[in-house]
Structure 1
Amino acid sequence: MNNVNYEMIFKRKSFHLFRNIGNKKISQQELYEIEETYRNLTPLILDIKTKIKIVPASQTSCKRGQEYSILFYSEKKDNYLQNIGYLGEQLELYLVSNNIGTLWFGIGKTEEPVFDGLDFVIMIAISKIDNEQKFRKDMFKSKRKPVDEIWSGEPVTGVTDIVRFAPSACNTQPWFVEHIGDEIKVFRYKKFGKRGIMPVAQVVYYNQIDIGIFLCFMNLCLIHNNIAYDIEINNDSGCDNEMTLTAVYKLLR
């Protein structure tokens, strides 16, 4: 969690197809640094073992023109999906800071569903981008829910209007926040009938990853705005309720 990652919130975009991105390639040194960076990230849940493996595009079912795919593996423990979303988003923002384009690819399959005893969770497709201008120029033009659809209570300056730009599967934006006094509650929100192109059986799975991504944005915004906090993570068992409590923040200002 650092200010560079926060700044990349405004630059990142999903490269749904890696076209017209130039001829630059990700170097072997950059691949090494990606793996080293991941090993030094702070997880959401401390006692869950995770690993990444970077493979050529040809070794996965993702065919979006990328050079490589980063495969995320994890133990299957409580909140492991949220933890992967949290770690993966930190890594994505690091990649963006190095002009590496990204795409969270939820439905992708790999030739190696188990790696070092850990189960495959999700992948991020990546390619080097030759020009910074091919990233997002104005985040606020992105299609996102208005604040009043995701936030109840007094807004937090520098936080409320930024966290809503977190990426999510099929842009479902499955979160809702309640701010009362010095407490912020974050819920995984499932609006019935709204799932984009996701198979109905996979909505909860991917939305749990999404909420981990959202918590990464929330933490980055609070830190950037010098708002001290304690956070308590609630166990999300993957129920299909409309609202599932994910995290409770206690603001210490």
Structure 2
Amino acid sequence: MDDLWYQMIFKRKSFHIFKDKLNISATELSNIAEIFKFLKPLDEKIKTGYRIVPAGETSCKRGEEYCILLYSEKKGDYLRNIGYIGEQLDLYLASLNIGALWFGIGKTDSGKYNGLDFVIMIAIAKMEESKFRKDMFKSKRKPLEQIWEGSCCQEIGNIVRFAPSACNTQPWKVVAEENKLTIYRYQQPGKRGIMPAAKVAYYNRIDMGIFLLFLELCLAHEGLRFERTLFADADDDGAEMTLAAVYLIG
């Protein structure tokens, strides 16, 4: 699956509006449900869950057919964990030609499920393959030098910078030393798009999970072994740079 997910990095896109959608088949819905058994968490001690519901059961109105509701225990770095799990799903959906949108502001009446709390939803619809990306590098992202300090693994940095993020805030900084990558959650002053100020850290923590998945898929694709150390990111003290993870390579 890692290689499939890596290839889908270049195909996936965020569908902000689902135009000319097709129907997701019952078999595809079953496959989506089955893939949840194989999604890897960052923290196995955090319980997570999901529901696939018709679009009408949420506040999302982007033309989607269904929404996938992601649930979690609210403990530890559950937001980063959900981002890491959900992005595996996002990439898998692209392999089925199912378009997806992380819809952060979406609401649902199903705020609880099996004792877990609703975290975020992903809107989905079946799309023609032609609707997906042909050239990822034409997408608008920060230039490499804004997110990547150091010459180590720049070819990987040039791919991971295309990880999706809330309002395209791209809240990450990497210090790349020889055989070591230090990852920070970066909260750029005044940069939050349409997000309420109180929600910036919430969504950016989810974004960090997405970014770490992209990074690990790229490292694995290059045949680079790594040892990952995660650092707690639970308190919002308003810091511009918050240490998230260190990867020792080799």
TM-score band, normalised by the shorter chain? Answer: over 0.9
Is the 8 Å Cα contact of residues 69 and 124 (structure 1) preserved in structure 2? yes
> Which blocks of at least 5 consecutive residues in structure 2 are unaligned?
none
The CA distance in 1 between the partners of 2:137 and 2:235, in whole Å, is: 31
Match of 2:186 in 1: 189
Which residue in 2 is equivalent to 1:12?
Answer: 12
What's the CA shift for 1:157?
Answer: 4.9
CA distance in 2 between partners of 1:138 and 1:149 (Å): 21
Distance in 1 between the 2:19 and 2:129 partners?
Answer: 14
In structure 2, distance between residues paired with 1:102 and 1:171? 15
- CA shift for structure 1 position 33: 1.2
- Map of 2:226 onto structure 1: 229
Map of 1:140 onto structure 2: 137
Corresponding position of 2:214? 217
CA distance in 2, matches of 1:83, 1:46: 9
Q: Which residue of structure 1 lines up, in the alignment, with residue 57 of structure 2?
A: 59
Equivalent residues, number: 249
Alignment partner of 2:169 out of 144, 169, 172: 172
The CA deviation string for residues 117-161 of structure 1, in whole angstroms up to 9 with x for no partner, is 0000000000001x2111011100000000110001114154110
Does the CA-based 8 Å contact 2:70-2:82 persist in structure 1? yes
**Correspondence list, 1:10-159, <5 A:** 10-21=10-21, 24-129=22-127, 131-159=128-156
Deviation string, structure 1 residues 172-216 (Cα, Å, up to 9, x no partner): 000000012211111000011000000000000000000000001
Name the structure 2 match of 1:160: 157
Q: Counterpart amino acid of 1:203? A: V
- Does the 8 A contact of 2:68 with 2:122 survive in 1? yes
Question: Is this contact kept in 2: 1:60–1:111, CA < 8 A?
Answer: yes
User: Aligned-pair distance for 1:238?
Assistant: 3.7
Identity rate of aligned residues, in percent? 58
Counterpart of 1:245 in 2: which secondary structure? strand
Amino acid at match of 1:164: R
Match of 2:141, SS state, is coil
C-alpha distance in 1, partners of 2:120/2:203?
9
Partner residue, 1:200: 197
5+ unaligned residues in a row in structure 1: which ranges? Answer: none
Q: CA separation in 2, counterparts of 1:19 and 1:29?
A: 22
CA distance in 1, matches of 2:142, 2:184: 15
1:100-130 Cα shifts (integer Å, max 9, x gaps): 000000000011000000000000000001x
- For residues 105 and 69 of structure 1, the distance between their equivalents in structure 2, rounded to whole angstroms, comes to 9
Three-state SS of the structure 2 residue aligned to 1:11 is coil
Deviating 4+ runs (over 3 angstroms): none
**Amino acid in structure 2 at the alignment position of 1:19:** K
Q: Retained in 2: the 8 A contact 1:158–1:225?
A: no
SS at match of 1:159: helix
1:31 Cα offset (Å): 1.1
Q: Read off the aligned partner of 1:62 and give its amino acid letter.
A: C
Q: Which amino acid aligns with 1:122?
A: I
Please point out which of 241, 247, 250 is paired with 1:243. Answer: 241
Q: TM-score, normalized by length of structure 2? A: 0.98
